[in-house]
Chains A and B, each alone.
Chain A
Amino acid sequence: MGNVVERQTRGSVRCCLFGSFEVCGNMAGLELLSDQGYRLDGRKATELRKVQARMGVFAQADGSAYLEQGNTKALAVVYGPHEIRGARSRIRHDRAVINCQYSMATFSTAERKRRPHGDRKSTEMSLHLKQTFEAAVMTQLYPRSQIDIYVKILQSDGGNYSVCVNAATLAVIDAGIPMRDYVCACTVGFVDETPLADLCYAEESGGVSSLALALLPRGGQIALLQMDARLHQDHLETLIEAAMTACKGVSKVLDEVVRQHLQEVSVLSGE
């Protein structure tokens, strides 16, 4: 079961759009990286946003976690492993099936938008999450069963995918499902020949080519790599490098959260 490397290439429509985005973005007057090396919100190029997280926020679920990365906030809930529900044909005899559902709260963006049945973007995001966790969770331990991961974005400020992955990781750990390693994700962008770590919404919409990467930090294996913008091949290496460093930063924070949580729980249960 090697690591899964997923590379997305998109049709040319998005590429063309991006071309014009870049122009508007730069014209619109946001200087994403000042000459002094500060970004819009005052971070330096490699700095992450502040990450805060809590595990076990819901009692009735098997596992749950709440994670804030700057102003992006996500809630992840895990059920399972349990018997497969619905079509029996989905049963895998050698491993568990992972079922992911991504959704955004109506109030999560600046403009209120009701998405009762999800849209194409969330379907795609669900698929990406599924692929990420199939690469990380040791599914072979639970044949003929199913693991559900539900993630909801409560507030959106860029890097939704990575925040969801990080929250879901904590929830899976909370549920006690064995994983190869933490899955940590981070988006990076490329501005003025400099990679920017952990983009916020203003940066994402400012015409930056952004790349999302999910990493199993200990082995340095890439669980998912996604980029749907134009970027020159020469820069890809540095960008991935920056993304991996950022992911390792995230993993440190997550690790702390998990240890903290364990300590609290063990104190409570009197062990």
Chain B
Amino acid sequence: MLKSKTFVKKTRSGGVMKIVREHYLRDDIWCGSEVCTECKQESTVLQRDACIESNLCSYPHYVIPDTNVVLHQIDVLEDPVIRNVIILQTVLQEVRHRSAPVYKRLKDIIHETEKHFYAFTNEHHRETFIEREPGESANDRNDRAIRVAATWYTQHLKTSESNADGLKVVLLTNDQGNKQKAEESGLLVYKCEEYIKSLIGNPELVDRLALSNDDKHDITSSKVLFPEHLPLSKIQAGIKSGAFVQGTFRASRDNYLEATVFVQGDGEESTEILIQGLQNLNRAVYQDVVAVQLLPQNQWVAPSSVVLQDEGAAKDDNNDEEDDEDEEKALRISAAEAARKPTGKVVGIIKRNWRPFCGMLNISQIKESTRHLFTPADRRIPRIRIETRQASTLAGQRIMVAIDGWPRHSRYPNGHFVRSLGKAGEKDTEQEVLLLEHDVPHQDFSQAVLSFLPKMPWTITPEEMARREDLRNLTVCSVDPPGCTDIDDALHCRELDNGNLEVGVHIADVSHFIRPGNAMDREAANRGTTVYLCGKRIDMVPELLSSNLCSLRSNVERLAFSCIWEMNHKAEILKTRFTKSVIKSKASLTYAEAQMRIDDTTKNDDITKSLRGLNKLAKILKRQRIEKGALTLSSLEVRFHIDSETHDPIDLQAKELVETNSMVEEFMLLANISVAQKIYDEFPDCAMLRKHPAPPPSNYDILLKAAKSKDVEIHTDSAKALADSLDVARVDGFPYFNTLLRILATRCMMQAVYFCSGMDSDFHHYGLASPIYTHFTSPIRRYADIIVHRLLAVAIAADTTYSDLMDKQKQSALASNLNYRHKMSQYAQRASVAFHTQLFFKSRGILNEEGFVLFVRKNAIIVLIPKFGLEGTVFFDAKDKAGPKLVFDEEGPTLNVEQHTFRIFDKVKVTISLDASNIQHQKIRMSLIDPVIPGVSVPAPDVEPQAKKPKLDR
């Protein structure tokens, strides 16, 4: 069993301890190559014809990169062109030790079968293991281990008889000393750059090369611009002694010379430290963890209100510097008299938080130059200097760039090109950008994930059938928005013999397919939610499940998790039960179709009868709920009519709601509440619930003031009071007032969040006026529902538990990820709507519309266009010229512009156009037409005839 053993002594510094560990050497570690006949391996990873066209190596070869090559050039290694690579255990361990993200990426590559990356356990191989020699540093020893392993491979492949092709091994290293030693021992060795540049036919790979330390001197002048960063040991000592503080660096969106460092204090006390000026910012990038030294109090400054964008094109560093100095001076003057804030300077970086950034290239003015500046889409990120030979192709494209480093003598950080996302302004590209910027995982599902999908054709096995309740004979149907392919809920209602009604909510049994802990489950847990963009859906689970096996389509047998109530005709619940079941939906309807069936008195089939029963009960349930104090809030949701061929939006319309919408919603709420109660009773410590905290009273200020301006009283003591007073709030001759008020009320609310019941004591859902709530009804598109399904399945003894499900710490960590994903998906959704709105207005040109003032600000009013559900800002002060006289009264709130006073709810007329001056940040521009204020409003531009006059007063 054991072949041999030696002892390795490792000494750990710190408390000096001698640690003795065994280290077994083995004979049964195979080389992983297809050509090898000696090794008794079951499967091979490395291919026989490992050919890649290269100037340097014309023969087939395997590549062995050393640790630094992997760490710095992981972008290159990830390229599909690079295959047949041997990753040594030494390298793997070193990478693991030095950078967790790179390690993760490396592991992903190794798992990818098409990449043919082989992980060779050289440290436990009898012939490749070496001991550290006296006087040899750990790094030198590792380098030697890599060389020994490379030599072994060379010998090994040479001796294997079938190797007629002359397969060789190429070592890649950027370390000069290592390279020399390797050459001495007769190895084929190249610098990483040499090798990549020699690859014929893949010139774009060169751009992905990260700049290594040696090249830095030829990219920038040698003039030192920044103070040196302190080493980590000094920073730690400084933090301990209180000389420095540690915090997260947050660059300002409007001013590139200003930033704040957010210092997390004990408990509530977190402070912000202002950093101003290039020298003090000292190469920190947004989201880095930095060490800051406070300046003496007489040097403290106030945050400036100036908007400064780093406009300097790719000029010389020297020129730039002068500009910067001027701008910095401007900052100081403006700050002299104002209130000062604690100000500091960055002395060191504790942890970089660089990720690849999306943005666009500014082409250098010198035509032949290969160095260009890159402007990230996020204004808080500094511009990045990259080297590329394909600038002309990349111009006008959205690209991704990663930062490699920021040397002291460089004005900008150095980076390298990662990949191109496509042409700027195009739908696919912009979609990709907004997904990346909102951190939405949207890659295709990996093979590992897909391997957990059930095999097709899929049928329900007899054993499965026996375990479940057979509800196929019930008249179940689903009601969803048009075009919905991931149907996760279906309903039925029938009269029982005793005169009562039986109502069932049937939810797709996703937890049957996604078993805890496997790759698919982990992926879904990470994604957290399906993201719906305009015209695109980013699935949480693979499509086979979301649109087929889990989708409760009509006339197919599907597994479901059913919640069945017995109710009387007053919608009082007499009995609740939960069961795993098999259903066969009789019809998939849209809201409108369902509504038509209910209204059509001539129809009397089972489905329609069932729908009518549901509708009747839903109305009662809704009434009861509202009596209890549930809020009906309003936010305008828009729907794009998308051209079926060009996929461009051709019309924009606020979503309309019909009775059946609320019918389905009512039963979903009921199911969620019933399930929440059940899982909480069963698992008081680890139930996944959802709460909606009551907003603090101050949130309502804006609503109260707005209502008061129209002499309407709003009570906010409780949800019930608020709901009642919203119901009676009407103003004669202003039918839209109530909706506007509800929109305002929505803005006052808090975010609803998932949480683990063992970690919190307040479960109340304010908006729904329910003491307990969870999400059970959409497991296809929300991960929280899957967890709830699992809990419920355990509660009814239909499934077994697993340890993470019962662990409240893990549950709580999961909840916070779900909350984050949920929030980001909403932002992404909004950004997508905003982008489509822009596309729409781009095609429509200029429009004149009526709208209402929603908020009044110091220098602007925010206008809502009900027709499009669009909100925009009308600014009254222009950057370049002196603005009109503005008087802002916070009490009203009102804004006096010259003679006219703006109040909330005022009706105005604006013209809407697209401002495309900045291609990365296009926005909708609104300007005032009516009321006419000289010098402020614009004359109504001519509108193309096809734009219909808006009909607002309904």
A200 to B19, CA, bound (A): 12
In the complex, besides A34-B89, A48-B2, A49-B2, 14 extra interface pairs with C-beta distance below 8 angstroms are A40-B21, A41-B23, A42-B24, A42-B25, A42-B121, A42-B123, A42-B124, A43-B24, A49-B22, A50-B2, A110-B19, A193-B517, A230-B803, A232-B803
| Neighbouring B residues of A29 by C-beta, 8 Å | 96-97
Q: B21 touching A31 by the CB < 8 A rule?
A: no
| Bound CA–CA A215/B832 (angstroms) | 64
Instruction: Count B interface residues, CB 8 Å.
Output: 32
Tell me whether A226 is interfacial, beta carbon within 8 Å.
no
A38 lies within 8 A of chain B by Cβ: yes
For window 81-133 of B, CB contacts with A under 8 Å fall at 89, 92, 96-97, 107, 110-111, 119, 121, 123-124
Q: Are the CB atoms of A110 and B17 closer together than 8 Å?
A: yes
In contact, A31 and B96 (Cβ under 8 angstroms)? yes
CA distance A110 to B12 in the complex (A): 11
- Residues of A contacting B802 with CB < 8 Å? 232, 234
Nearest Cβ in chain A — how far from B522, in angstroms?
A: 13
B622 within 8 A of partner (CB): no
Does A271 reach chain B (CB closer than 8 Å)? no
- The answer on a CB contact under 8 Å between B21 and A200 is yes
Asked if B18 lies at the interface with its beta carbon under 8 angstroms from chain A, I say yes
CB of B628 within 8 Å of the partner chain: no
CB pair B119–A35 under 8 Å, yes or no, is yes
Cα distance, A73 to B121, chains bound together (Å) = 29
Q: Is B468 an interface residue (CB 8 A)?
A: no
Complex interface: chain A residues within 8 A of B882 (CB): none
Assuming the contacts A42-B123, A50-B2, A110-B17, asked whether A234 and B24 have C-beta atoms less than 8 A apart, the reply is no
For A47, the chain B residues whose CB sits under 8 A away are: 1-2
Once bound together, how far apart are the Cα atoms of A111 and B12, in whole Å? 13
| Contacting pair B807 A41 (CB below 8 A) | no
Contact B21 A48 (CB under 8 A): no
**Are the C-beta atoms of A19 and B807 separated by less than 8 Å?**
yes
In contact, B107 and A35 (Cβ under 8 angstroms): yes
B219-231 to A contact mask, C-beta < 8 Å, 1/0: 0000000000000
Q: Which residues of A contact B801 (CB under 8 A)?
A: 232
Count of interface residues, chain A, beta-carbon cutoff 8 Å = 28
Nearest-CB distance from B409 to chain A (Å)? 35
B809 at the A interface (CB under 8 A): yes
Answer whether residue A70 sits at the interface, using C-beta atoms and an 8 A cutoff.
Answer: yes
A249 to B1, CA, bound (A): 10
- Which residues of chain A in 12-70 are interfacial with respect to chain B, using CB atoms and an 8 Å cutoff? 19, 29, 31, 34-36, 38, 40-43, 47-50, 70
**Distance, CA A249 to CA B2, complexed state (A):** 13
Q: Does A157 contact B (CB under 8 A)?
A: yes
Q: Hey, which bits of chain A sit against chain B, CB under 8 A?
A: 19, 29, 31, 34-36, 38, 40-43, 47-50, 70-71, 110-111, 157, 193, 200, 202, 230-232, 234, 249
Minimum Cβ distance to chain B for residue A202 (Å): 6
Complex Cα spacing A110 to B1, Å: 28
Interface residues of B (CB under 8 A from A): 1-2, 5, 7, 17-26, 89, 92, 96-97, 107, 110-111, 119, 121, 123-124, 517, 800-803, 807, 809
Q: Which 4 A-B pairs have the closest CB atoms?
A: A42-B124, A42-B24, A232-B803, A41-B22
The docked-state distance in angstroms from the alpha carbon of A158 to that of B38 is 37
Pair B22/A70 contact, Cβ less than 8 Å:
yes
What B residues does A36 contact at CB under 8 A? 89, 119, 121
**Choice from A34, A157, A249 contacting B20 with Cβ under 8 Å:** A157
The answer to whether B5 touches A50, judged by C-beta atoms less than 8 angstroms apart, is yes
> Are B809 and A71 in contact, with the CB atoms below 8 A?
no
Contact B121 A38 (CB under 8 A): yes
User: Is B22 in contact with A38, judged by CB distance below 8 angstroms?
Assistant: no
Contact at A38–B124, with CB atoms within 8 Å? yes
The reply to whether A111 and B17 contact each other, CB–CB distance below 8 Å, is yes
Most-contacted residue by chain B among A31, A111, A193, A232 (CB, 10 A): A232
Question: CB-CB < 8 A to A71: which residues of B?
Answer: 7, 20-22
Would you call B1 and A41 a contact (CB within 8 A)? Answer: no
A49 surroundings in chain B (CB, below 8 A): 2, 22
- Taking CB atoms, residues of chain A closer than 8 Å to B18 are 110
In the assembled complex, which residues on chain A have CB atoms less than 8 Å from the CB atom of B809?
A: 19
Given A35-B107, A35-B110, A230-B803, verify A42-B23 contact (CB < 8 Å).
yes
Question: Could you pull out 9 A-B pairs where Cβ atoms are within 8 angstroms?
Answer: A19-B807, A34-B92, A35-B111, A35-B119, A42-B23, A47-B2, A71-B22, A232-B801, A234-B800
Contact B1 A48 (CB under 8 A): yes
Q: Chain B nearest CB: distance from A74 CB in Å? A: 16
- Closest chain B residue, CB of each to CB of A209: B803
What B residues does A231 contact at CB under 8 A?
803
Distance to closest chain A CB from B103 (angstroms): 10
Residues in A neighbouring B20, C-beta threshold 8 A: 71, 110, 157
Residues of A within 8 A of B17 (CB): 110-111
Q: Tell me the complex Cα distance, A193–B803, Å.
A: 12
Q: How far is the CA of A50 from the CA of B119 in the complex (A)?
A: 26
**Considering only CB atoms, which chain B residue lies closest to A72 in the complex?**
B22
Cα-based distance from A111 to B119 in the complex (angstroms): 36
Residues of chain B contacted by A19 (CB below 8 angstroms): 807, 809
B-side contacts of A50, CB under 8 Å: 2, 5
Q: How far is the CB of A230 from chain B (nearest CB, A)?
A: 7
CA distance A43 to B28 in the complex (A): 11
Residue of B nearest to A23 (CB): B809
Measured between beta carbons, the chain A residues less than 8 angstroms from B24 are 41-43
User: Which residues of chain B are within 8 angstroms of A202 by Cβ–Cβ distance?
Assistant: 21
CA distance A200 to B111 in the complex (A): 28
CA distance in complex: A19, B808 (Å) = 11
A38 vs B22: C-alpha distance in the bound complex, in angstroms?
13
A20 to B19, CA, bound (A): 24
Give Cα A111 to B19, complex, Å: 10
- Nearest CB in chain A: distance from B66 CB, A: 19
Smallest CB gap from B28: residue in A: A44
B-side contacts of A232, CB under 8 Å: 801-803
Give the Cβ gap from B452 to chain A, nearest Cβ, in Å. Answer: 14
Chain B residues with CB under 8 Å of A70's CB are: 22
**Chain B residues whose C-beta falls within 8 Å of the C-beta of A35 in the assembled complex:** 107, 110-111, 119
Cβ contacts under 8 Å, B21 to chain A: 40-41, 71, 157, 200, 202
Q: Which partner residue on chain B sits nearest A200 by CB separation?
A: B22
